[in-house]
Amino acid sequence: MAEKIIVLTGTSSGIGKELAGLLAAQGHQLVLAARREPELKALAKAVGGLAVVTDVTRREDVERLRDTALETHGRVEVWINNAGQGISRPVMDLSDEDLDSMMAVNVKSALYGMQAIIPHFMVRNSGHLINVSSFLARVPMASFRSAYSASKAALNSLTANLRMDLAESHPGVKVSLVMPGAVRTPFAQNAVGGDGQPLPASVPAQSVQEVAAAIAELVERPRAELLTNPAHAAAQLRYFQDVAAFEAAMRERA
């Protein structure tokens, strides 16, 4: 496979860390971003990527990440907005700060990434933007992840609208949305208000290796949307065919 220059955020743990190792093993050149400097630098040393300490909720940090990548490599071919955070709080318990935090980490950070790199892609009429969302943005399988799900739903909409905007004017620029479901990572423990509460047992979980492999495949073969768990395609269809029946079935399984 051809070597690509790939910028990847949220690499200090979980999906981002696993994906970085896989992409590096495939021969790609990585620019790795995360807030936690020790973990980021350790990963960059292990996989051979360039570490750029980045708070993705700060536009200037994201622009500096882009500038560093371009100054180092002269181009970027893939930009993956992977950074994100969860929350374990039902709708009626959410504070203003809870919602603002989820929107900043899960939506605005990706918007900053899109607005930073897409002009570079447009000039080249080439490039691939990948936004990592969540299946919970599409189907409400875990009501205690309310604000997280809402923020990822907003990310889904921004991604789709960007893809529509670029399709006519810059068809060489690809925009993809990735929706993992339950993944066996420390995500629940790291969530705001995190009590380690897992998703219901009825929700099938994937390993982080499976999700990383699916995203790596998307890098090679772009498409509009990717559900990393094949079982979720049928669940999504059932949900939209009869929302009330689907929700009733979920309550019975809980």
**How much is the pLDDT for 1?**
64
Q: Of the given ranges (64-73, 74-83, 188-197), which has the lowest mean pLDDT? A: 188-197
Taking all residues of the chain, what is their mean pLDDT, rounded to a whole number? 92
249, 56 contact by CB (below 8 A): no
Catalytic status, residue 148: yes
With cut-offs at 50, 70 and 90, classify the pLDDT of residue 143.
Answer: confident
**How much is the pLDDT for 205?**
78
Of these residues, 148, 187, 239, 246, which one is catalytic? 148
Could you give the domains of the chain?
Answer: 5-253 (3.40.50.720)
